[in-house]
Amino acid sequence: MNFLRLTDTSHSHFGQAWALYEQAFPLEERRPLAWQRDIMPHAPYHFELILQEEALVGILLWWGFEEVRYIEHLATAPAQRGRGYGKRILESFTNRDARPILLEVEPPREEIQQRRIRFYEQGGFTLNHHFYQQPPYHPGLQPLTLLLMSFPEPLTPEAVAHFVNTRHPLIYRLHTSPATT
């Protein structure tokens, strides 16, 4: 399994990766393509393809900051699901360096959300129950109330507030002006 970072949309696998992104996440949980193009060259943002012998296995879209790594989107290709790729991708990512990791999940109202949370818990993540909202990716949409999961330790309310105050402006509004931090 190889991880390949893209910094623009010209790679031959980008179209397939974008289709997976659109299939795997509802509109309110994904950014528009024009915004995606704008953020891809920024140093803290990583649009990674996961390839197995040049075949797209999945995508891992994440932000690397000094104090934390934030997984924004992780998806495996439908034809590859159930083969352990998700577990291997997550394990590889958690072992890359010692920085803590955050990610968002939907509240566990239905079986699919409960399974997703269990998947991350099996990978060593903790479900945190602090109030948290994801800002909207599209004009006219409301913020989404989600939960944060963290690795390797639970989050304090102060850590959540710090993430929201310092990182949300970059993650959710970076498309308005390039930055390298």
Domain membership of residue 180 (yes or no) is no
State the total domains in the chain: 1
Q: How confident is the model at residue 141 (pLDDT cuts 50, 70, 90)?
A: very high
Q: At what angle do helices 111-122 and 85-94 cross, to 10 degrees?
A: 50
Q: pLDDT tens, 91-111?
A: 999 999 999 999 999 999 999
Q: Is 96 contained in some domain?
A: yes
Residues 5/46, Cβ–Cβ less than 8 Å:
yes
Tell me, yes or no, whether 149 lies in a domain: yes
Map residue 157 onto helix, strand or coil.
helix
Contact 60, 50 (CB under 8 A): yes
- The residue range of the domain holding 100 is 2-172
In a domain, 148, yes or no: yes
Q: For residue 126, what is the domain's CATH number?
A: 3.40.630.30
User: In one letter, which amino acid is 129?
Assistant: H
Residue 177 lies in a domain: no
What's the predicted TM-score (pTM) here? 0.93
DSSP assignments along 28-97, one per residue: GGS--HHHHHHHTTSTTEEEEEEEETTEEEEEEEEEE-SS-EEEEEEEE-GGGTTTTHHHHHHHHHHTS-
Residue-wise pLDDT tens digits, 74-86: 999 999 998 999 9
In a domain, 178, yes or no: no
Residue 98, in any domain of the structure: yes
Tens digits of per-residue pLDDT, 9-29? 999 999 999 999 999 999 999
